[in-house]
Each structure stands twice: as structure tokens, then as C-alpha cells.
Amino acid sequence: MASTKRTWIWVVLGILATCVFVVLVFIVGAVVEFRRHVKNEYVESTVAEQEFAQTRARFAGQQPLIEFTGRGRSDDSLVHRPPENAPRVKINNLRVLVYDLQQGHLIHADVPGWLLRMMPDSGRYGGGGFNTEFDDEFTHHRLTLEDLERHGLGLVLEGRNDHTRILMWTE
């Protein structure tokens, strides 16, 4: 009888060890993916401005989905929503470039398209969670993945205020 009791203890310990191992693998994988898709560096404002100018030059003449006319408040933005019958384009990546003008942080982020499709809240998106005044623009205007796909590949958001500069585009 004692040997069956010991067997159950080993089975339970084995199951617990497996669960802990799976959780650790998941956490390490999430950290590795995050570090692979987000790059944060301190740079001078001139370097950041050059990076923004080079990136913006790729979209010369293209109108962003969200355009800011003021200081980054939701009331000061204009959304050029695509027509309902516009063809949808598959988005492979959503790229974000954010510069904190006060602290000198330049953030490059790359959100894979498969992750965009998995996001909750009926496909409504925030501004990337980079702690900027622009984070509310997507949710305020109820923009969805479908809106991004109908807008097509290219410039999605461009904004600047006293504290932050942001550029967002799809590829």
C-alpha cells in the first residue's frame, strides 16, 4: 500500500514540474520575442529627426490614415477612413517609430500581422502602448484591423506634440 502512495506522489510532482517548465518556456519565449521586435535607444534629437525624415520620405505624397491637426488630442485628429468597398490588403507588419523629445528615447517596434489578428477587443487597437498622447487615437476613432487592411500598405499615423513624435506604417 505504501508503494502506491509513493507512486502517486511522484506522478503529482512530475505533473507540477512539467507545468512549471511549460510556464518558464512560455515566459522566456515571450521575452525573446519582445526583445526581437522592440528596440529602445537613446539618441540625439538630430539623429531621430533624420530617421523620421528618411522613413517619412518613403511615403512621400501619401496621406496617413490618421492625421493630426493639433497637439495630439483626439479632437485634433482627422481620420481618412477608407470606403467600405475598398479591397483589403494583408498586413504582414505594423511598424512604429516613436521618439520621446524630452528623454531622448527612440523606439522602433515591429508588430507582426499574425499578432494583430489575434488581438482582443473586436479588433480595435490602441496606439501601441508606448505611453504617448497618441495611444487613444485608435480606440477613440474605433479603428479596426479591417480599417488598416482597407487603407492598404503604407502610412497609418503621423503625429507630433510637445513631448512625442510618432510614425506608424504597415508593410
**Same-domain check for residues 166 and 107:** yes
Residue with the bigger pLDDT between 139 and 36: it is: 36
For the question of whether the overall pTM of this predicted structure is more than 0.75, the answer is: no
Do 85 and 104 sit in the same domain of this protein?
yes
Give the chain's domain count: 2
Q: Which amino acid is at 112?
A: P
Q: What angle do CA 168, 98, 160 make, to 5 degrees?
A: 80
- For residue 20, the number of C-alpha atoms closer than 13 Å in the C-beta half-sphere is 6
Q: What is the mean pLDDT of the chain?
A: 80
Q: pLDDT, tens digit, for every residue of 11-26?
A: 889 999 999 999 999 8
CB 156 within 8 A of CB 167: no
Q: Distance between CA atoms of 138 and 35, rounded to whole angstroms?
A: 24
Neighbours of 70 (CB within 10 A): 12
Query: Domain residues for 68?
Result: 43-170
pLDDT digit string, tens, across residues 121-145? 545 555 444 444 444 544 455 677 8
